[in-house]
Structure formats: structure tokens, C-alpha cells
Amino acid sequence: MGEAIYPVPESWASGALVNAAQYQDRYVRSVNDPEEFWREEARRIDWIRPFTRVKNTSFHEADFGIRWFEDGTLNLCANALDRHLAERGDAIAILWEADDPTEPERRITYRELHEQVCRFANLLKQQGVGRGHRVTIYLPMVPEAAVAMLACARIGAIHSIVFAGFSPDALAGRIKDCDSSIVLTADEGLRGGRKVPLKANVDEALNQCPGVTSVIMLRRTGADVPMLAGRDVDWHEGVASQSADCPAEEMGAEDPLFILYTSGSTGKPKGVMHTTGGYAVWASMTHHYVFDYRPGQIYWCAADIGWVTGHSYVVYGPLMNGATTVMFEGVPNWPDPSRFWQVVDKFGVEIFYGAPTALRALMREGDEWVKKTSRSTLRLLGSVGEPINPEAWEWYHKVVGERRCPIVDTWWQTETGGTMITPLPGATALKPGSATLPFFGVQPMLVDNDGKPIEGAGDGCLVITDSWPGQMRGVWGDSERFFQTYFTTFPGLYFTGDGCRRDADGYYWITGRIDDVINVSGHRMGTAEIESALVAHSRVAEAAVVGMPHDIKGQGIYAFVTCNAEVEPDEALRKELVQWVRHEIGPIATPDIIQFTPALPKTRSGKIMRRILRKIGENDVSNLGDTSTLADPSVVDHLLANRPAT
Ligand code: PRX
């Protein structure tokens, strides 16, 4: 598998923003003379006070720090909206498609979006929000979510979006961690015809968050929800009296723009913090080159704003580039598996960016759901979030794109702010399943477990040797954790947590996480988080969670659970625990398999041997490796003999 090569189509080679020779030339310049390269590239942003200093970064403990364009000032919202008004004020900024296909779409021009953002920013100010304050956003995929983000950016507030599929507990944890006093939400969300009780979730979460003094609630479904006098404000009533004039704050390049919580291998999710200037350059530049974006084109990134892809490639990147960005409230397979492609036809989408998990699910439904749509406007396809298996890649290419659309398989992370390893459609020959080559300024390296560099073709841990403008700047509220998490495994290098192979052509093939993070449907889950949810149940003594291969989700969740002594585990308890985890974290953390076991395999010092559990999860049990250090090797035999059918 994976031997096929798709050369750059002739039309792309001649017409694209970047061709192969230009990619080579500019890549070399970007790493040989980053100062000059980024001084030039950063001109794409309107700076209020131009920077004089470009790059001031070190990954080493002695002088650790990451600062880009540090003496420049700007406002990201002004870059996304105000600067387009003169020339493109009447162009569509957001094209919104509702969950229910019979509900009318919304078309919001740059001028209208600007006005909505200014009014909402003034409402935020009236609620006491100012520079540096944290605003928690728990909204479905509606244009108001983008309005909320941009309004925060306009007044210098820091947004923290919590995916609207997370539970009240998960929401409360994130509100408390960044100490925000305001939450933006909706009465209910709508997804695949089902209602999600967002306001009720907020109310439940706020029982744990006495610091929240204000909730602004958007009416999406009109459900009858209780409003707490003095705390809850109706979104539309609140903005009605606001002025449409709201000056954009002058922000320092290194002032925080947003926090986004993501799972790591240990402890609770960490608040990944991005700042303003470098992120603005990175999000707009990657969107421009990776999608070969030209103003006027209809562009659709199908990610939710609750994830980093939604931040950089639904809202900030496209809007900074004056794009028409499609926002979709629904799901790929409702009312039927043609939905994505019907939306493509309805709006004339030219660039479509989605996740492998959705493609695999649609592929299973059969080609006719795709073929009954036209898709004639599509010219470029993208993939993000997890490795795309060559079979799904080929299907995407042949059936969805009818062989005419290049596929940009973009590898990146919440921490990187934007794409890092990716083809450029006019420059890079494609190999199905490979994210191909580094973007400008990105210096990947493979190292072995001891940190020794691997030259040429080989397999190893993926690290990045030098900073790029979109890099995260810190973990909110924990100044040590950033350095500890990313720069100590291999001193002086940024460790991605991913394994990777490089082939003889220098192409990168991400093989997946090599830490205790699993990637379920393109969403990152820390195994530790699911374990702590399980042990919080009164009948559970101990739990260990590993990933398992899953045809649609990429990885599924396999939980080994030991119950308290007096408990006789049965099917009813298994179902209860599944519901429990869904309630504690959210449906994305639903365990696929729960295996009850009287004990977990442990070393004599009491450490769980995860290596063995991972192999059982992967159904790769012919060689479990050395089990002689186990305190009780019979535990493994018991686990193997009692594996549930998958
Ligand atoms: O393991 C990699 C995988 O997703 C992880 C990052 O997850 P998150 O921070 O949630 O960001 C997802 C959206 C960028 C990575 O460490 N990953 C992401 N994109 C790819 C990928 N793995 C393989 N190929 C990709 N294109």
C-alpha cells in the first residue's frame, strides 16, 4: 500500500500560487534566513505598529522562550473584517447551512459580520469583559460562534471554546481552569436532527463555578429554558441596544488570543495558549498557500469551532484572506449520506476540507450517495485530524474528487496553530497516506528513543527543531508545564508526541501517537482522562484505557476495568459504565470495549504494564514481549482468555 504517486496535475502546476521549484526555493530560504523570510511574509497582516524584531525563540532550558514579531501591535479582528470592508464589504464572509436541510441558509457579508461583531463586542464590554479577560464559548456551529470569537479578539479578551459535545463536568473544569466569569451559549444545539441541551448543561456546570457572573444565551431552537435573573442575558435582546461602533483594541503581538483545551498523556486537559501576531501570520498564510485560496472562491472546512481546525480554518485563516467560508451545523450522514455533497452543490464549494473518519463512514455507505450529486465545482480536497488510510484517500480522490482534485493531507496539532506538514497543490506530487513535506519554516526531524537523529529514510519520533510563528506559547495557568511537556523528552527539540516514517523521497508518513493519547474520530483523548472518569464510579477500583483499531473512528477506546471486591461485574454494569463515561466527559469518550478483569498486569513495583494492554487492544497478542517482570503473569493469561468479541 501507499506506493502510488500522483503527480501535480498540469493545470495546477502552471496556475498555482506555488509550483514545485518555488516551493523548493522558498522552503530553503525560510529555514536558512528565517528573519528575512518572515519579515517579508508578515506583511500580509495589517500591523498597527510595525514590528522591528522578527524572531526571538529558543527551545533550550537556559534561555527558553518563544516570541515572534514581539514589538509589533495589531488587532486580529480588524485583520479579519475591517480591512476587507472597502473592497469586499458586500462579499459573503459566512455561508451558513443549518442542520435541517429545509431551514434556509444564511449569507452574511463582511459588512454585516463587522456590524454584528461590533455590537456583540459592545455587549461583552457592558458585561464587564475587557482586555485579557477569559470568555468561555459553548456554542453550536452557528454564525454567532464566529461573531463571539471575533468580538473577543476585537476587544482583547481571550476566548476559550469548549466543544458543545462536552459534558457539564468537562465544561466546568475548563471554566474553572481559566477562571472565566462569562459563558456564551445557546438554548439548544441541533445535530443530526437531535437536540443538545446546551443551556441546561451550562446551568449544571455553573453549580460548580461560582465565579461566573454572566451568561449570554442565543436562542437557536426557541426551547423554553429557565433564565436566571441578574446572570442570564438573552443574546438578541442584549445586542439590540448596542452601538455598531466598537474600536478595535491595539494588541501586542504576544498578547494571548485564545486558549483551547486539549488532552495530553497525563493529568487533566491543558489550556493551549496562542498569541496574536504569530498566529495571525501562520493561520492566514497556511490557509492561503495550502488551499491555494483566491478571493471569491467558496471554501468549506467541515470542522467544528470547538477544535483547533475550526479556529484556524473555519474562522481566522479564511476571514483574514477575505474568503467566503462555509459553516455547517449538521453531520455528514443526516438526513442521508449525501449531505456533504449536497451542500457542496448548493453553494458551489470549490475547496473542501474534512476528516478521514467522516470519509470512512461515508465510504461504507456506498458510492451512489456521492455519485447522485454533481460536485463539479470542487477543485481541491483536504484531510486533517488523523492519518488517512490509503484506501480512504483513493476513495476520496476517485469518487468524491473524480480524479481531478488534488488532496492536501495536512498534519498539524492544536499546539502548532496551523498546518505543518502538508502538500501544496501546485507543488507536491501526492502519495496516498502521506502528509508529504514540511510547510515553509517547518523543520521536522526524526529521532530514536534516545534522541539520536535518524538521517534519510527511517522510522522514529517526530520532533521539530526550531520555532514557527503559529507555535503555542504556553499552558494556561501553568508556566512550567509547557516546557516540561514538550521540550524535555528530547532536550532542545519540540516533541510532537507522534511517531513518523520518512521515505527515500523525504516524504513524511505519520504513524500515530506514541504517547498515552488516542485519536478517536480525529479527536484527541487522553487515556488518563477516561481512566479517571471510570474510577470516579463507586463500583470501580481501577481502570486502564488503551486505543484499539477501529474501521471508522481510526481508533476506538478499550477499557480494562477492575471492580471493587464485593462487586460482581455484569452486562448491566458494563452499560452503566459506558453511560457514566459519556456523562462525565461526553459522547466522544464512549468506550467501545470494557473488559472486566480481577486485576491489571503490573510490575512488582506496582506500575501497570501498558505495553501489554496496548497489544491486547491492538489484537496483536502473538508476541507480548517480556512478561517476566510482572508481579503475577497469570493476569495476562486471564486477560487473553476473557477478551470480549469485537
Ligand atoms: O496524531 C496527530 C493527529 O492528530 C494529532 C493532533 O490532534 P489535535 O491537536 O486535536 O489537532 C487535530 C487537528 C489538527 C496529531 O498529533 N493528526 C492530525 N492531523 C493528522 C494527524 N495524523 C496524521 N495525519 C494527519 N494529517
For 19-57, the pLDDT digits (tens) are: 999 999 999 999 999 999 999 999 999 999 999 999 999
Contacts of 63 (CB under 8 A, 6+ apart): none
Buried b (16+ CB within 10 A) or exposed e, 388-401: bbbebbbbbbebbb
For residues 119-136, give the mean pLDDT. Answer: 98
Angstrom distances, CA of residue 519 to CA of 350, 436, 513, 532: 28, 20, 8, 18
- At 575, the pLDDT band (50, 70, 90 cuts) reads very high
Q: What are the grid coordinates assigned to 193, written together? A: 436532527
d(CA 283, CA 311): 9
Least confident of 93-107, 419-433, 447-461, 628-642: 628-642
Mutating to test ligand 1, I would choose from 411, 437, 471, 496 the residue with most ligand atoms within 8 A of its C-beta, which is: 411
Mutating to test ligand 1, I would choose from 412, 495, 523 the residue with most ligand atoms within 8 A of its C-beta, which is: 412
Q: Are residues 620 and 481 in the same domain?
A: no
Q: Are residues 402 and 539 in the same domain?
A: no
Q: Are residues 315 and 180 in the same domain?
A: no
Facing residues of 508 across strands?
436, 502
> Given the CA of residue 517, which atom of ligand 1 is nearest to it?
1
Contact in structure between 405 and 393 (CB atoms under 8 Å): no
Facing residues of 135 across strands?
159, 182
> Given the CA of residue 510, which atom of ligand 1 is nearest to it?
23
Give domain status of residue 309, yes or no. yes
Rama region for 253: left / alpha / beta (φ>0; ψ in -120 to 50; rest): alpha
For residues 363-378, give the mean pLDDT. Answer: 98
Give domain status of residue 382, yes or no. yes
Mutating to test ligand 1, I would choose from 263, 305, 386 the residue with most ligand atoms within 8 A of its C-beta, which is: 386
- At 646, the pLDDT band (50, 70, 90 cuts) reads low
For residues 554-561, give the mean pLDDT. Answer: 96
Give domain status of residue 150, yes or no. yes
How many residues does this entry show for the chain?
Answer: 646
- At 605, the pLDDT band (50, 70, 90 cuts) reads confident
User: Pocket around ligand 1: residues whose beta carbon is below 6 Å from it?
Assistant: 262, 308-309, 383-387, 409-414, 435, 496-498, 510, 512-513, 519, 524
What is the predicted pLDDT for the residue at 310?
98
- At 2, the pLDDT band (50, 70, 90 cuts) reads very low
In degrees rounded to 5, what are phi and psi of residue 305? -65, -10
- At 1, the pLDDT band (50, 70, 90 cuts) reads very low
Omega prior to 335 cis, within 30 of 0: yes
The number of folded domains in the chain is 3
Q: Are residues 326 and 462 in the same domain?
A: yes
Q: Are residues 528 and 505 in the same domain?
A: no
| Burial (0-12, 13-18, 19+ Cβ within 10 Å), 512 | middle
Nearest CA to ligand 1 atom 25: 411
Q: Does the predicted interface ipTM exceed a cut of 0.85?
A: yes
Asked if residue 498 belongs to a known ligand binding site, the reply is: yes
Please report how many Cα atoms fall inside a 13 Å half-sphere around the Cα of residue 164, on the Cβ side.
28
Percent of the chain with pLDDT over 70: 100
What is the predicted pLDDT for the residue at 43?
98
> Given the CA of residue 419, which atom of ligand 1 is nearest to it?
14
Percent of the chain with pLDDT over 90: 94
Is a pLDDT exceeding 90 seen at residue 622?
Answer: no
Q: Are residues 594 and 446 in the same domain?
A: no
Is a pLDDT exceeding 60 seen at residue 616?
Answer: yes
Query: Of 218, 252, 286, which residue sits at a domain end?
Result: 252
Residues spanned by the domain of 167: 111-252
> Given the CA of residue 524, which atom of ligand 1 is nearest to it?
10
Give domain status of residue 341, yes or no. yes
Is a pLDDT exceeding 90 seen at residue 266?
Answer: no
Contact in structure between 421 and 397 (CB atoms under 8 Å): no
Nearest CA to ligand 1 atom 23: 387
Rg (CA), the chain: 24
Q: Are residues 440 and 525 in the same domain?
A: no
Nearest CA to ligand 1 atom 13: 385
Q: Are residues 607 and 506 in the same domain?
A: no
Asked if residue 501 belongs to a known ligand binding site, the reply is: no
For residues 419-448, give the mean pLDDT. Answer: 98
- At 173, the pLDDT band (50, 70, 90 cuts) reads very high
Rounded to the nearest angstrom, the distance between the alpha carbon of 446 and the centre of ligand 1 is 17
Q: Are residues 198 and 143 in the same domain?
A: yes
DSSP β-ladder status, 92-97 and 106-109: antiparallel
Give domain status of residue 90, yes or no. no
Query: Of 252, 277, 304, which residue sits at a domain end?
Result: 252
Task: Report angle CA 153, 154, 159 to the nearest 5 degrees.
Answer: 25
Q: Are residues 403 and 422 in the same domain?
A: yes
Asked if residue 459 belongs to a known ligand binding site, the reply is: no
Rounded to the nearest angstrom, the distance between the alpha carbon of 307 and the centre of ligand 1 is 11
Look at the block and give the residue holding cell 472546512. 301
Provide the whole-model pTM.
0.96
CATH number of the domain that residue 574 is part of: 3.30.300.30
Give domain status of residue 333, yes or no. yes
Is a pLDDT exceeding 60 seen at residue 184?
Answer: yes
Nearest CA to ligand 1 atom 8: 413
Task: Please report, to the nearest 10 degrees, the dihedral formed by the alpha carbons of residues 37, 38, 44, 47 taken in order.
Answer: -140
Q: Are residues 435 and 291 in the same domain?
A: yes
> Given the CA of residue 307, which atom of ligand 1 is nearest to it?
10
Facing residues of 556 across strands?
548
Mutating to test ligand 1, I would choose from 304, 510, 529 the residue with most ligand atoms within 8 A of its C-beta, which is: 510
Buried b (16+ CB within 10 A) or exposed e, 513-544: bbbbbbbbbbbbbbbbbbbbbbeebeebebbb
Rounded to the nearest angstrom, the distance between the alpha carbon of 463 and the centre of ligand 1 is 14
Query: Of 252, 286, 317, which residue sits at a domain end?
Result: 252
Give domain status of residue 618, yes or no. yes
**Mapping DSSP to helix (H, G, I), strand (E, B) and coil, where does residue 196 land?**
strand
Contact in structure between 188 and 195 (CB atoms under 8 Å): yes
Mean pLDDT value across the chain: 96
Least confident of 256-270, 408-422, 562-576: 256-270
The one-letter amino acid at 638: H
Q: Are residues 485 and 605 in the same domain?
A: no
For residues 152-173, give the mean pLDDT. Answer: 97
Nearest CA to ligand 1 atom 22: 386
Give domain status of residue 86, yes or no. no
CATH number of the domain that residue 318 is part of: 3.40.50.12780
**pLDDT tens digit string along 199-230?**
999 999 999 999 999 999 999 999 999 999 99
d(CA 68, CA 470): 9
**pLDDT tens digit string along 224-251?**
999 999 999 999 999 999 999 999 999 9
d(CA 440, CA 176): 37
For residues 609-617, give the mean pLDDT. Answer: 93
